[in-house]
């Protein structure tokens, strides 16, 4: 592309993004990704959730106003959100899905043939499994975008067989560039995506996996309901997702929360389609702020102001964890991600994986790979290093020097245990002296000198290690055992009882003996003890609002909900929380000043800018607040 033409295109692109989306600048890698689409060069773009992947194919589609971009998306809800968002910005877009009535589908197809539509959203099944591609061959196609591209990889965390058919797009649309987008992909998954889609000499753009606006916390699961309530209490009137491993846990926890006065809805694959749709719509429309769900509540969720994600059990991989926690803070504002785990979670996942592998007659290599992912996740939970660093380095990137300032380790919510090596040696000596493999709970009982039936049965009260740590809290010792496993000084495995029941046990390994011989050192942590009325700190990633500004922010949210109901779209599609916060802080007094606020483009300004302006001016006048506070 000649230099003069390139400069002109970049200027037009900036003007287009400002006019339709209200953005004054692009995020990292967005400009390179957009240039790939404009220059018709295949690409694979890996940007974290909230990193702005959709703009990478939406903006070029608007700029190229004589052609159509095909977007492949796995879920109807994902398509609907994007189509609603584009239409709210004044951009012609349609979706084709199985939920549409024949007349709706016919109307959408007529729009496509007319050439007025800039983006067509379609599922992989409809695009390559029917003759729908023949209709698209009648119009000028400029590019093909594959959203959630990790679904095509066997090694990805959400494999979908129908995605494998997408390689046929080269046959249907020869010469058209193909662009794959995903939030989570290791190097192995990236290579598989390229091979499966047949991308030709693609530009591979991998963004920074760190999400500095997220605060990560990992705690041992002790009193589940109490721990869940503590997180919810930190986020009063804010949106959150609570993930459980099993459906039964979803039903039980959501019922307990409702019993305790929390408006919580459940969501899992065992519910009817109408029940799931009702829960999802209530959450998306801000009629309900809390969902308790299995991972079935996944990619279809695009609410941008989720302020916390809480896992009540360990996810089965760091890819899943990154994807699920990535649903928090998509608007760029602060959010909390708390994970409650237990050693039994590993055993549960192994059982689920074994059964799934047998039922599907899966390749043994696939099961082995899944178990490797599980072990990495377990190691992350038990680790004593910065949570942000652990995630970033897992995905093959270098983390910045120093502390992140946004995880339980770096925030000082844990403290180093004095005499950690001595404590570790006592724990390992106890494991050695009980001889037969026992679970962590039994080791804790022996070390604390407890008079339990299990201890008496094996005469372990006679051991020299009996009561060695009787002054220590039971939960602390349990945590230290997990930390020793995480540091490789103990091995966690399962034992099959005569009854066939599988139970988790710990045993020594070569590293254990190095610790006991004082040839290597161990670091152990315990939670910071807070006073009775002392609470965990709230996140302060963005500039906090004053009390007056908070009141105005809530009024703006109420107006946003009203407009969203009128337009039958999700509230964040009107303006996200980051835009509302900026409006509450700046309080523009004129429409022309509102466009200086991030996220307000010309279309939205014309559609409902005056209603927001009226509220801003009246509130500022009533409370004596300064306006145009730029």
Measured CA to CA, the distance from residue 516 to residue 134 in angstroms comes to 70
The tens digit of pLDDT for each residue in 294-349 reads 987 765 567 889 999 999 999 999 999 998 999 999 998 999 999 999 888 988 89
Residue range 214-412 in CATH 2.40.40.20: no
Q: Of 42-51, 306-315, 544-553, which has the strongest mean pLDDT?
A: 306-315
Q: Are 3-206 and 415-527 the same fold in CATH?
A: no
Instruction: With a cut of 90, say whether residue 203 has pLDDT above it.
Output: yes
Residue range 415-527 in CATH 2.60.120.340: no
Give the chain's mean pLDDT: 91
- Between helix 364-382 and helix 387-394 the angle, nearest 10°, is 160
- Within 13 Å and on the Cβ side, how many CA atoms surround 278? 8
User: How far apart are the two ends of the chain, measured CA to CA in Å?
Assistant: 39
Is there a contact between 184 and 193 (Cβ–Cβ < 8 Å)? no
The tens digit of pLDDT for each residue in 72-81 reads 998 888 898 8
The tens digit of pLDDT for each residue in 100-149 reads 899 999 999 999 999 999 999 999 999 988 999 999 999 999 999 999 99
Q: Of 148-162, 189-203, 223-237, which range is least confident?
A: 148-162
Q: Where are the domains of the chain?
A: 3-206, 214-412, 415-527, 547-623
Measured CA to CA, the distance from residue 7 to residue 60 in angstroms comes to 15
Residue range 3-206 in CATH 3.40.50.300: yes
Is there a contact between 75 and 300 (Cβ–Cβ < 8 Å)? yes
Stretch 367-373: mean pLDDT, rounded?
88
Of 392, 376, 240, which Cα lies nearest the Cα of 314?
Answer: 376
Of 95, 28, 39, 88, which Cα lies nearest the Cα of 63?
Answer: 39
Give residue 11's pLDDT: 83
Is there a contact between 343 and 320 (Cβ–Cβ < 8 Å)? no
SS (H, E, C) 590-617: CHHHHCCCCCCCHHHHHHHHHHHHHHHH
CATH number of the domain located at residue range(s) 547-623 in this protein: 1.10.150.80
């Amino acid at each position: 592309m000649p230099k003069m033409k390139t400069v002109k295109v970049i200027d037009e692109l900036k003007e287009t993004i400002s006019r339709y989306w209200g953005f004054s600048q692009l995020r990292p890698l967005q400009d390179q990704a957009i240039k790939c689409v404009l220059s018709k060069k295949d690409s694979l773009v890996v940007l974290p959730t909230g990193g702005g992947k959709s703009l990478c194919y939406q903006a070029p589609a608007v700029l190229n106003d004589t052609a159509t971009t095909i977007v492949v998306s796995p879920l109807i809800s994902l398509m609907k959100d994007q189509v609603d968002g584009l239409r709210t910005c004044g951009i012609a877009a349609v979706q084709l899905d199985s939920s549409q009535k024949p007349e709706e589908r016919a109307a959408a197809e007529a729009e496509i043939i007319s050439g007025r539509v800039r983006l067509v959203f379609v599922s992989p099944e409809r695009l390559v499994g029917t003759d729908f591609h023949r209709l698209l061959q009648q119009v000028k196609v400029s590019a093909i975008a594959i959203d959630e591209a990790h679904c095509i990889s066997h090694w990805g965390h959400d494999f979908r067989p129908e995605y494998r058919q997408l390689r046929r797009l080269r046959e249907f649309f020869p010469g058209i560039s193909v662009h794959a987008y995903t939030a989570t992909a290791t190097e192995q998954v990236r290579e598989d995506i390229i091979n499966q889609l047949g991308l030709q000499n693609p530009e591979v753009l991998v963004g920074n996996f760190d999400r500095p606006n997220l605060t990560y916390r990992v705690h041992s699961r002790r009193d589940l309901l109490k721990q869940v309530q503590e997180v919810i209490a930190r986020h009063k009137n804010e949106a959150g997702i609570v993930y459980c491993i099993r459906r039964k846990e979803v039903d039980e926890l959501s019922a307990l929360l409702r019993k305790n006065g929390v408006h919580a809805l459940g969501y899992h694959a065992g519910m009817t389609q109408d029940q799931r749709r009702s829960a999802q719509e209530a959450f998306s429309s801000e009629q309900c702020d809390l969902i308790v769900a299995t991972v079935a509540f996944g990619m279809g969720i695009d609410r941008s102001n989720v302020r916390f994600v809480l896992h009540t059990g360990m996810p089965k991989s760091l890819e899943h964890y990154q994807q699920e926690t990535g649903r928090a803070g998509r608007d760029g504002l602060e959010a909390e991600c708390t994970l409650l785990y237990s050693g039994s979670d590993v055993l549960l996942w192994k059982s689920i994986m074994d059964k799934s592998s047998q039922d599907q007659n899966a390749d043994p290599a696939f099961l082995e790979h899944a178990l490797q992912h599980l072990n990495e996740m377990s190691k992350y939970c038990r680790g004593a290093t910065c949570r942000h660093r652990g995630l970033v380095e897992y995905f093959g990137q270098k983390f910045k020097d120093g502390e992140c300032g946004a995880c339980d380790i770096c925030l000082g919510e844990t403290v180093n245990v004095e005499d950690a090596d001595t404590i570790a040696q006592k724990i390992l000596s106890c494991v050695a002296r009980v001889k037969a493999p026992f679970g962590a709970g039994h080791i804790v009982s022996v070390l604390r000198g407890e008079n339990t039936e299990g201890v008496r049965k094996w005469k372990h009260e006679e051991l020299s290690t009996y009561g060695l740590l009787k002054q220590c809290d039971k939960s602390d010792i349990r945590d230290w055992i997990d930390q020793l496993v995480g540091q490789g000084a103990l091995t966690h495995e399962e034992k099959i009882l005569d009854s066939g029941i599988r139970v988790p046990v710990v045993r020594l390994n070569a590293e254990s003996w190095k610790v006991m011989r004082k040839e290597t050192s161990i670091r152990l942590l315990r939670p910071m003890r807070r006073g009775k009325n002392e609470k965990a700190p709230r996140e302060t990633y963005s500039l906090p609002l004053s009390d007056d500004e908070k009141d105005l922010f809530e009024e703006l949210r109420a107006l946003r909900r009203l407009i969203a109901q009128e337009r039958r779209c999700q509230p964040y599609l009107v303006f996200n929380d980051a835009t509302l916060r900026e409006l509450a802080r700046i309080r523009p007094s004129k429409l022309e000043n509102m466009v200086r606020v991030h996220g307000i483009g010309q279309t939205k300004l014309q559609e409902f800018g005056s209603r927001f302006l009226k509220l801003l001016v009246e509130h500022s006048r009533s409370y004596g607040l300064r306006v145009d506070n730029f």
